[in-house]
Amino acid sequence: MDFESFLNEERKPMIVVNEQGIVDMVNESFTEAYGWNPRDLVGKTLTLIIPEGLRDAHQMGFARFLSTTEPTVQNMELELEILFADGSAANALHFITSGKVDGQLLFAATIERI
């Protein structure tokens, strides 16, 4: 599946961020699953949905990818926690990928609660 087709997945909760780590989009499945209103996330940092104990690892991995462009956690399922809008957390399967749309590097993840 190409990246733009992946972005059109509607059944699975999805979040899309730009290379600055700013949320560009969440789909309706994401808002239903995790309680976030798009206006509370779009234009803000991805770390809002990442539990505090995982934020440093996320920032280091994100920065490493941007400097090397060598993915180590993309295109595979990862079991990680996600924060709900109410502040609670749960384990979820994350499938992260990246691609360019209109010349802009984007990262997309489907995140399904387990």
Give me the number of domains the chain comprises.
1
- Quick one: which of 92, 105, 84 has its CA closest to 24? 105
Domain that holds residue 66: 3-113
Spell out the per-residue pLDDT of the chain, length 114, in tens. 688 888 888 899 999 999 999 999 999 999 999 999 999 999 999 999 999 999 999 999 989 988 988 888 898 999 999 999 999 999 999 999 999 999 999 999 999 999
The CATH code of the domain that includes 85 is: 3.30.450.20
Q: CA torsion 11→44→47→10, rounded to 10°?
A: 0
Question: What is the structure's pLDDT at 69?
Answer: 86
Question: What is the structure's pLDDT at 71?
Answer: 86
